[in-house]
Amino acid sequence: MEEWTLQTCPPPFWRSDGTPDVNYDLLREVMRVPVRSGASARSGKLAAAIDLWCVWEFGHAGFSGEGLWPQQVEPRVIDPVAERLMALLPTIGVTKTDGLRGRIGSVDAKVMGSVYTKQVDVGMASWPSGPELLISTKTMGGSFGKNLGNRFEEAYGDVRNLRERHPLAGHGFLFVVDASIEGELGAFDKVVHMLRQLLQEGRLYDAVGLLVADWGKKDVQEIPTRLQKSVPKKLSLESFFGTLVRIILENSPMDAHPRARAYYPSLI
């Protein structure tokens, strides 16, 4: 994706006040790709673009090369230990490795929960650590009053299933709604209320983010400033990423994630 190559020298992930400097400009660029192709929220392409942006943000925080998924190139999911082993193969005389990376990776990540196995949109895991980050991303482009209840029932069941088996992982839920939500009476307030109910650190989701975006135009994708400012601080993207980075670092040994730990304001 061409937009990613523009980020060769990004600013620091953390601002001087200790909050994440979320890259909204990159988010707009990433969203342009599926929207320009005419993809709707239901197609899954918009959600996939947002998943890649989330991975970029966590990589920017210092977790790159540590098993984040989905990756920009195939296979989307591959264990970092397997990648390091592949890099060693030429040193022991193994030269025919064509196609091997694709065979040891996968197109998506399915994580075993306490009741059922769940495909997880964004995450981070390795053989030694197991899952350390599990995020569900959902987009909704309309019919808010009709479909909101179903979305939140799914979100509640998914986090209970995954948290019971992976209590130390950082569990996140990112909900992206179209700006047209403003036109449905009471819909925005209902979304905020439901997301607050899902935000229960250590019990349900540790972090919940709400993003209001206007993907109705093919040329420009906007994040309406007025609507986004009305999102409560606890549901902001800054709180979302900051909380999950903190939980990953707090729930891992001091020698794990050295780069992210060095960047983190409270742990320098």
The answer to whether residues 256 and 66 touch, using CB atoms and an 8 Å cutoff, is no
Q: Which of 262, 23, 248, 236 is nearest to 132 (CA)?
A: 248
Q: What is the mean pLDDT of the chain?
A: 84
| Dist. CA 196–CA 239, nearest whole Å | 13
pLDDT in tens, 37-69: 666 556 678 889 999 999 999 999 999 888 898
The DSSP bridge pattern shows strands 122-126 and 130-140 to be: antiparallel
Domains and CATH numbers, the chain: 2-10+21-70+108-267 (3.40.91)
DSSP string, 118-163: EEESEEEEETTTEEEEEEEEEEE-S-HHHHHHHHHHHHHHHHHHHH
What's the pTM? Answer: 0.86
Q: Which residue has the tokens 């990159």?
A: 26
Question: What pLDDT is attached to residue 193?
Answer: 95
Question: What pLDDT is attached to residue 6?
Answer: 41
**CA torsion through residues 190, 195, 198, 199, sign:** negative
Q: For residue 117, is it left (φ>0), alpha (ψ between -120 and 50) or beta?
A: beta
pLDDT in tens, 104-126: 667 688 999 999 999 999 999 98
Instruction: Please give the torsion angle defined by the CA atoms of residues 137, 140, 144 and 147, in that order, rounded to the nearest 10 degrees.
Output: -70
pLDDT in tens, 69-93: 898 776 777 666 666 666 666 777 6
Task: Please report which helix (H) or strand (E) contains residue 112, including its range.
Answer: strand 109-112
Question: What pLDDT is attached to residue 102?
Answer: 59
Q: Which of 171, 180, 187 is nearest to 118 (CA)?
A: 171
Residue 184, pLDDT > 90, answer: no
Query: What tokens appear for 189 in the block?
Result: 């307030």
Query: What tokens appear for 144 in the block?
Result: 């808010």
Q: Which of 203, 195, 125 is nearest to 155 (CA)?
A: 195
Residues in Cβ contact with 140 at an 8 Å cutoff, skipping those fewer than 6 apart: 41, 147, 148, 151, 175, 176, 177, 178, 181
